[in-house]
Structures are given as C-alpha cells and as structure tokens.
Chains A and B, each alone.
Chain A
Amino acid sequence: MIRFLEISNYTLFYYYLASNLIYVVLLVTAIARNAIHQRRLSSIRIDHIKDSPFTPPITLLVPAHNEEATIVESLESLLSLDYPELELVVINDGSKDRTLEELTTRFKLRRATLLYIPEVRSASVRDIYLSANESRIVVVDKDSGGSKADAINAGLNAASSPYVCVVDADSILEPDALLRIMVSILAEPKRVVAVGGIVRVLNGSIVEKGRLTQIHLPRRPIEVLQVIEYLRAFLIGREAWAHFNMLPIISGAFGVFRRDLVQRVGGFRASAIGEDLDLVIRLHRYLREQRADYQISFVPDPACWTEVPSDLRSLARQRARWQKGLLDVLWPNRDMLFSAKYGRMGWIALPYQWIFELFAPVFELGGYFTIVTAALLGVLSRDFFLQFLIFGYAFATMISLGSVLQEEITYRRYNDWRDVVRLVTFCFVEHFPYRQLQMIWRLQGLWQYMRGDLAWKPLRRVAFNEPVPASKEKTKASAAGK
C-alpha cells in the first residue's frame, strides 16, 4: 500500500507540475500573440472588407430544434450583420414546437421546388422554403436526425457559398463578427481553412431586438464562474493552440469553415457527441494526410454571445456531455497518437487532450484518494500537503487572473468597475467547491460514455433576457467546447 502511495504521489506531483508548466507556456504565448494581433488590427480597416467586391460570400448555417422562443429574434440579428454577401440557411431539425410557424409568419416562407443534392448524408429533408420578404433566407425543413451535426449537414447541402459559418440559433453575433473572423482567411485564403471566434457569456447582458445593447457580468455566481472559464478557454487555450497550428476545436457556436473541405471529409459526424471537436480533428487528419500546408486559426475579437446554464443541474449535464464528446472523438482517432504522419497533432495536441483534458478528472480523483489514504494511514506530511495545496490554489488563481488580464488589455467588454472587481474576486473562489463539482460531472460523463449512455437530453429554450427559473433545464448543445 505504501509503495502504491509512493508511486501515485510521484505521478501526481509530476502530472501537476507538467500541467502547470504547459499552462504557463500557453498563457505567455497567448499574451504575446494577442499583443501582435492588436498591433496588426491597427492597420486594418474592417469596413474596407465590407466594401470590397473580393470578399467571399458566407453561408450562415443555423440549426434550430425547438427554438420557437428565440428563432425570429436570432435571425433578425443575423440578418443585420455587416457582411457584403450573406446567405442564411436555417435548418428546422424536426422541431415539435412552433419554430417553423414562427419563421413562416415572420419571413413569409413559401415552399420552393429547389433541387437539393445530399452531398453530405443527413436525415431526409421534407421541404425547402424561401422567404418572400428576405431573399437571403433559405429554410430547410427536415426530419430530426437526433443531433445538431445531422442538421448542419443538411444545411451544408443547401449552402451555396465557398465558406460556411455554423451559428447556434440562440446565440448573438456582434455586428462586425463575420468581417473580423474573415480577416485571417482573407490574409491567407489558400492556407487558412477554418477559423474560430470567441464565445462569450450572454447571461446578465441586455439584448434588444436581437442586438446586444448592454454588456454586464451575470449576477449568479455559477454564471460568473463560467465567464472566467470561457475567458480562460478562449483567450488563453484557443489563442495559444492556434498559434502552434494545433487548435483541436472550433466552437460549434461560432466558426467559419471552407465548405468544400467540410464536404470532402464527409461533413459533420451525425453520431458525434462533440461534433465541433470531431470535425476539426478530422480536418487536421485529412489535411495532414494530404501533406497540405494549412492553418486552422482562431481570432479573438469577433465575438459570439451565448447563454450558459444558470443552474447546477443543467451545468452538470453540459459538462458531462462535453467530457463524453471528448472521449467520443479521441477514441476513434487514437491511431493519430504519436504517428509521424500527423506531426505535432499526433505528438503534442492529441496526447495533451488525452492526458490533461480527458484523464484530468481521473488524476484529480486519484490525488484526493491518495491524500485521504495517506491521512488515514497516518503518513500524510501536513506541511507538504499544505504547501502543495497553497501552490495549487495560487497557481490556478494566477492563470485565471491571466485570462482576466488578457480581457483587460485587449477587449475590455466589461467596462463597469464593479464587474471587473467581481471577476477578479471570483478568480480566487472558483477552486472550492466548483472545481471539485466539475471533476464529478466530468467523471460522470466518462462513466456514462462507457456505459453507452449517449442519449441527447431534451432542451428547453427561453427568449433572450428572460430569467431562467432554477428548476428549469437550459443546456446548450456544445456552446464552447472545453
């Protein structure tokens, strides 16, 4: 037993050390990259992209499943985006509520005998509708395929632009988000095949007529903690991984992809739990196999705002689902690990995902087990444990503060002093018991996956700004990935 504790102790210590060192590298890289990006932006006039005839058209794919509460407002917001050539393909994915009726009433939809070629497989399409008062809208009404991926695939088939942007129906894009996300594509159109933007937490902010009018930090602590998580994930993680061209995920809530490439890899995997992660990994796989010179990029300034769960139960479901999604993607792609063919993806990015993302809750649980066992056996060094605890706490706080710093030196969306003070304060309190709850939820996700529990839980949508009762469910499909 003592020997076992000894080995676990070593393993956990070095695991934690490695994890922290990686975070330091990611933080420094992200700050440096962000500074460069800010300087670069100073010479770019976004309105020139808007006015240019050379700006390529984009199709926005908006999967909608029982979105009657927000669909019209969302589409109006999307239609008001600044972009020269925009097409909106709304996929009514077998909604059982009044989603299609709401669309028909507002946009005067008419059934059209458009030719639909299922180049990418999806559940059968019932009808295609065109709007009488908004020529940019195409509505694909289809049977439910049981997943968002299936709906996006149907939208891909109906899209006609060289680039597609997947947007959640209950998300809000900033008016210039598409122009900003296209900056990196326009700089290197042959090389950049996909770009992700930042997803931010909408809770607490005010939306009027589908437009974000006031930005505030949410009131509930559980939502504020998610704000910090999102800042950390996007402004540190995505930013730094993209710098090394190892970005493993582009959020399903907001990302632009080259349509031909997505179709070439077979579209989104309908059975995938984390379809966004799955697609990006398959794109990496395909392009590396083709020995292509490519870049999957991340741009931190085009923002998409999305509602996050506001109660523990919904959050638990979401996090369990993300963990299931991660395993569901990593397992089929395990042949990429340490394969020369996949370069840095196989040697660095995927091993990191396995060790420091997928198995993180297992290691964490192992750590608690070791401590408790050592304490029970009376072999726990109180001094060392305390030191280790303080270090863990201080380091994690520093990383969270680093993400707030990134936000502060670049985008400063939270202008109110009180918001910043609250954000900083929550960086100090997020470790107990939120972190431990996360561990439990993620372990639940792994357990559910291994049991074969892959069921999609029903969703309930609320209109923007409507308070969410604590007892009601409000989960998001895959808002921001990890």
Chain B
Amino acid sequence: MGSVSNWIPNASMARLLFQAILASLAGIGLLLAFILGRRAWRAFHFRVLNAHTFRFRQKWNDIVSGAIPPETWRFNKLDRQIVETILLDSIETGAASDLPPLIECLRSTGLLDLRIHEARELHGWQRRNAIVSLGRTRAPEAIPALAEALDDSDAQTRLAAVRGLGRFALPQAASALLLRMAEGTLNVPEKTLQNSLLSCCRTQPSLIVPYLRRADGPTREILARVLGELATPELQDDLLLLAVDPLPEVRASAARALGHADAQFAFPILSALSADPEWFVRLRAVVAIDGLNHPRSIPALVRALCDVNRQVRQRAATALSRLEPHLEEILERVLATRDAYALQAMISALERSDGLANLVAALKDPRNPRKAATILLRALHRASRHLHSARTPAGTAPEALQEPAETEEVTP
C-alpha cells in the first residue's frame, strides 16, 4: 500500500506546494514589513511635516508678502508642498478680501506657473493632481489649462477639470464648459457638470440662455436645470419659452425657476404647468405655486389635490394648508370635488400643520354666525368618519394611485 503522496503527481505537486509555501511566507513577510514599516515611516514623516509646517506658520506673513524670498524654500519639495497647501487652504477658507495677496503670492513664487505647466505637460494621476490644485487656486489664468484638460481622454481627468472650473465660480470658467457642451464634446457625468455650472453662473445666469436656445436633448435638460436654480426675474421671457418646451425636464425646470419670478407673470404659466401630462412637472409647478403663497392659486391647488400622483396631491395639500385665512373656502372647494383621497390629503396636511384643531375650534365658535360654517363642519366630520372607516392600510390602492418611478429608467 503506497502513501497518499503517491496518488498525486508526486514530485511536481510537492515542488509546487513547497514553492507555494515559500511564496506565501514571502508574502507574509512583505506584508508585515510594509504595514509596520509604513506606520513607522508615516510617524516619522508627519513629525517632520509638523515641524516644518510650524516653522512656516510662524513666518507666514513674511512668506506671503515676499519678505522671505521664495528661493529659500521653493527648491525643497516638502517645503514647497507645505507652502502650497497652506496657501490653497487659506484661499478656500478665507474671505474674498483676503484672497488677492494669497493669489499674488501663488503667482510671484512661481507655484501657479509650475502647476499650470504640470497640468499641460504631465499625464495620468500627476496631471489630475495638478488640475485639482489649480482648481483650488481661483487664479483666472489657470482657467485655460483647466479648459484644455476637459478634452483629456481620461474620464477622471475630465471630471477633475470640471470640478476645478466649478470651484472658480467665475463666468469665464462657465464659458469653457458651455462652449464644449455646445460642441457636444464634453463627456462627463451630468450632476458634476450641473454643480459646476451652477457655481460658475450664479453671478450671471443669463450666460446660459444663448446656449440653452441652441441646445437640444440631454444638454438642453442640463442647462434648463441649472437655469431653473438660478433664474432671476429678468429672465422671465426665456422662462416662458421653456415652459412650453417639448422636453418635460425642461418644463419642470421652468416651473422651478418661475417660483422666483414675479407672481403676476408666473401664476398663469404655473397654473397651466400644474396640469402638465408629466407628474414631476406638475409637482414642480405645485411647489412653485406654493412659494407664491397667493389666494389666486386656490383653484389650481385644489385641482392638484385631486391629482393621480400621491406626491402632487400631498404637496398641494401642504400648500393649501398654508393659506390659513382662506381655509373655509378651500374646504368648501375640496368637498365639492367629492374626491375622498383629496379630502384625506387635505385633512392630513391640516393635522400636520396644527390647522385642523384651529379650524374646528373656529367653526364651533357660537360667535361665528355663518350657517355655512356649521354645514361645513358637519360635512367635514362625515367625510372624516367615512374616510377613517375606508382607510385599510393593507388593502389595495386604486390603479390610478400607483406612483410612477421617480428616477429615470435604466437604459436598456
């Protein structure tokens, strides 16, 4: 009878095992050395870093003013990194009035030129690092280098450039983005792009309008969303055009923007949008109408209260519950709809806002001579009782109340 080792290709297997043991032991040794060595090195590195940083902090004003010549620290990599880090952190956290000397220091010491050179000449993660630093400088002369990086073949570099431009919060930075969007050459995630545009166009939202007029498809949607966040009353005419756009996302953005427009101008458009075929456009319109807080909105909101979509209904109810001086009129209108779901949404919103107790107390008040009030109170009680008995949480909702997906479909 042989041994187990005879049943397997003996020599090669044993050799393989032996090599595997050696490899594993070597792996263990390397990993251990790396983990512990790295710890030790980091402890040492941070001790040195802290000491140098402390030294630079002590004479920081002289470094910024140039009293200490940059040649004394610029050629040492660690010192250069420390000064740049302190400068960029100060730029990010400082007030606008503190920025000019800091940015000037970046220029005069050559740190800015060095980063611009790196952003143009280097590749991969080194270019990305340079771009991230440039984005933090807020020096307008860095914008062209960042704009060039928008055409990089690497998606992460493009993303870093978009984020960097966003940090400038300057219209010049927005132009670089808008130009490439118009050409259709900018391939980055839309949320990042929206955020950067939002930041750059905040002082000058009209910058978007000419591009929006020419754009179509997803680009048009992105621009409309940004404009929806930034629009000012001066852009009313453009918003009017967006409100009748064939793209629902654009109409929704127009509704959002109209929430900040003049009420007299916005109301008829928002009222029309609150009857839009797309639920999220209606929802945006109702939210905007709520922002106007005007009794003229009652009919549109009562109509929205009967919406097939739960969220539109709830938002309309919340908006109506805020129009407290007109609650009697609102309840009369709601009861007239004979829509139990609408009434329930209304009662619920009133309950949340403490309006129901106030309303019932007011209606019960004998000093209130209005007969309608008594009738209304009875109707309300009746409807409320009816609803309470009808509410069966485990039951099935009517088909019409099924809510459509809120996010976009996965693209097949």
Task: List the interface of chain A (C-beta within 8 A of B).
Answer: 2, 5-6, 9-10, 13, 39-40, 42-45, 48, 52-56, 110, 112-119, 123-126, 130, 160-163, 186-191, 193, 258-261, 264, 287, 290-294, 374, 377-381, 383-385, 387-388, 390-391, 394-395, 397-398, 401-402, 404-405, 408-409, 417, 420, 424
Residues from chain B with Cβ under 8 Å of A291 in the complex: 412
| Residues of B close to A6: CB separation below 8 A | 7
- Cα(A112)–Cα(B310), bound, Å: 16
Give the size range of B's interface with the partner: 35 or more
B264 within 8 A of A: no
- Beta-carbon contact of B4 and A9 below 8 Å: yes
A115 and B412: CB pair below 8 A? no
**Complex contact A54–B225 (CB within 8 A):** yes
Q: How far is the CA of A380 from the CA of B3 in the complex (A)?
A: 6
Given that A290-B412, A293-B410, A379-B1 are contacting pairs, would A391 and B17 also be in contact in the complex, using a CB cutoff of 8 Å? Answer: yes
CB pair B24–A401 under 8 Å, yes or no, is no
Known interface pairs A43-B132, A260-B406; A114-B8 also in contact (CB < 8 Å) = no
B191 within 8 A of A: yes
Q: Which of B27, B135, B159, B396 has the most CB of A within 10 A?
A: B27
B8–A9 CB distance below 8 A: yes
How far apart are A158's CB and chain B's nearest CB, in angstroms? 10
Of the residues A39, A117, A186, A294, contact of B192 by C-beta under 8 Å: A186
Which of B78-86, B269-277, B340-348 lies on the face that meets chain A? B340-348
Contact among A115, A163, A377 with B341 in the assembled complex (CB-CB below 8 Å):
A115
Contact across chains for B163 and A404 when beta carbons are under 8 A apart: no
> At the interface, yes or no: B401 with Cβ under 8 Å from chain A?
yes
Q: In the complex the two chains form, is B3's CB within 8 Å of A387's CB? A: no
Question: Are B159 and A190 interface neighbours, CB within 8 A?
Answer: no
The chain B residues found within 8 Å of chain A, CB to CB, are 1-8, 13-14, 17-18, 20-21, 24-25, 27-28, 31-32, 34-36, 38-39, 125, 128-129, 131-132, 135, 156, 159-160, 163-164, 166-167, 189-192, 194-195, 198, 225, 229, 310-311, 314, 341, 344-345, 347-348, 351-352, 387-388, 391, 393-397, 401-403, 405-408, 410-412
Task: Give me 22 A-to-B residue pairs in the complex whose CB atoms sit less than 8 angstroms apart, sorted by A's number.
Answer: A6-B7, A43-B128, A48-B166, A54-B191, A112-B352, A113-B388, A115-B344, A124-B393, A161-B406, A162-B407, A186-B191, A187-B159, A187-B189, A193-B410, A259-B407, A292-B412, A377-B1, A391-B20, A401-B31, A404-B35, A408-B39, A417-B39
Partner pick for A45 among B13, B32, B163, B345, CB 8 A cutoff: B163
In the bound complex, how far is the Cα of B394 from the Cα of A265, in angstroms? 19
B residues within 8 A CB of A56?
Answer: 407
Determine which residue in A116, A189, A381 has the highest number of CB atoms from chain B within 10 A of its CB, and name it. A381
Residue of B nearest to A287 (CB): B410
In Å, the complex CA distance between A481 and B163 comes to 36
List the B residue with the shortest CB-CB distance to A128. B393
Contacting residues, chain A, for B405 (C-beta < 8 A): 260, 264
Check A188–B410 contact: CB distance below 8 A: no
A69→B225 CA distance, assembly (Å): 45
Interchain pairs with CB closer than 8 A, number: 197
Q: In the complex, A10→B7 CA distance in Å?
A: 8
* B14 and A190 within 8 A (CB): no
CA distance A258 to B131 in the complex (A): 33
The smallest beta-carbon distance between A263 and chain B, in angstroms, is: 8
Bound-complex Cα distance A123 to B393 (A): 10
Which partner residue on chain B sits nearest A286 by CB separation?
A: B410
Residues in chain B near residue A401, CB distance under 8 A: 27-28, 31-32, 35
Is B18 a contact partner of A39 (Cβ separation < 8 A)? no
Complex-state Cα separation, A391 to B16, whole angstroms: 10
Whether A395 pairs with B410 at a CB distance below 8 angstroms is: no
Q: In the complex the two chains form, is A44's CB within 8 Å of B163's CB?
A: yes
Please, which residue of chain A has its CB at the minimum distance from the CB of B3? A381
Q: What are the residues of chain B within 8 A of A387 when measuring CB–CB?
A: 14, 17-18, 21
Given contacts A52-B195, A115-B310, contact A130 B21 (CB under 8 A): no
Give bound CA distance, A130 to B6, whole Å: 73
Contact A379 B2 (CB under 8 A): yes
Nearest A residue to B229, CB-CB? A53
A189 to B408, CA, bound (A): 9
Q: In whole Å, how far is A130's beta carbon from the nearest beta carbon of chain B? A: 6
Give the Cβ gap from A304 to chain B, nearest Cβ, in Å. 23
Q: Which of A13, A45, A110, A404 has the most CB of B within 10 A?
A: A45
Chain B's closest residue to A121 (CB) is: B394
**Are A5 and B4 in contact (CB-based, < 8 A)?**
yes
6 closest A-B pairs by CB = A260-B405, A394-B24, A381-B5, A125-B393, A43-B160, A117-B397
Q: Residue B24 contacts which of A117, A381, A395 (CB distance < 8 angstroms)?
A: A395
A318 → B minimal CB distance (Å): 29
Bound form: Cα–Cα A454–B32 in Å: 43
**8 Å CB contact of B25 from A9, A123, A394:** A394
* A113 engages B351 (CB within 8 Å): yes
A374 to B1, CA, bound (A): 11
B35-A420 in contact (CB<8A):
yes
When distances are taken between beta carbons in the complex, the residues of chain A under 8 Å from B194 are 52, 54
C-alpha spacing A381/B8, complex, angstroms: 11
**Interchain CA distance A187-B189 in the complex, whole Å:** 5
* Closest A residue by C-beta to B40: A417
Question: Cβ of B3 and Cβ of A379 under 8 Å apart?
Answer: yes
Instruction: Report the nearest B residue to A380, measured CB to CB.
Output: B4
